[in-house]
Amino acid sequence: MNKSTLENKGFEVFPRAPYDMEKVMLKNGADPHFVLDWEKKKLTFPMRVKERAEEKNWKKTVVSITSLGTVDKPKLFVEIKGEPLSKPGLNWLAQHLTFQFQWESDVLERFYEDMQGNSKLYNVLQEHRGLPLVLDEGIYEGLIKTIIHQQLNLKFAQQLVVSLAHEFGEKLEVDGRDYYFIPTPSQLATVPVEILRTKKFSQRKAEYITGIAQKVSSGELNFDELSSLSNEAFIQQLSKERGIGVWTAECILLYSLARPDLFPAGDLGIRNAVQRLEGLAERQTIEECRLWAKPYERWGSYLSIYLWESLGNNRLKAEEM
């Protein structure tokens, strides 16, 4: 990262190769949270800067990432617009983006090397070479979106997320476009379930997301404390909350905390991908799928995202455990 330009709210990034920013753009461009400009190879999205824990100090920004390099010589330019940021705020944002997009991770190199002994898997990896594990904006945002996606098809779930942001969140206008933010915990905590029902949320889903927001806002649910737990302890603790099962907790470990060894075998997409890869007549059970992945358990998260990609980037509905 070229930090000399950071004060000007723009900086260069040289991710660790292989890194395919175009695959990142393609994967995230279908999400209405992101704006994809394929001609300029630019991905733009809103993000809150949470340099301080208190919501009143959070700043609204819009981030644009432009791809300027190749898979083996990746180069990006990151531009930041929105509310004025202090130098510590800019540094926080740069560090957060580095983690969210895994720019400094060497995991892909090691993952590919370890998988060379399995020709079927290795072929899948090479087909999608350079695709990193891209994370959600944060644990809270990831949890709200994941709960909304439970038991729904992708398009309708995305519509609900957009509706939630438009109706109850904040917006920021940049370059003539409005960008919307998922409501903060305190904002969502005060939204009546009855009002969410009028926006096509089910009774239970409305109760689940407002309940999580209330606990986060009050401090009863502390993600910093949960993040320090092992995978098993994290799943056990988070699964005690209404609306959160094993699959949802696993997704948070994977897509919010970047745990490398998460394999959500309860996901139908994963099991369908294994069935297709191995040429099986029937889909494996959850336990059979976990057993199949056992030799690669240290790379479970990366195995998962590549299996999903092998289905043509169509994430199928997961079973809530």
**Amino acid code (one letter) for 166:** H
Burial class (CB in 10 A: 0-12, 13-18, 19+), 69: middle
Mark whether 72 is an active-site residue. Answer: no
Catalytic site residue from 31, 106, 261, 267 = 267
Contact 108, 18 (CB under 8 A): yes
Bridge partners, residue 10, by sequence: 79
Q: Which residues are catalytic?
A: 267
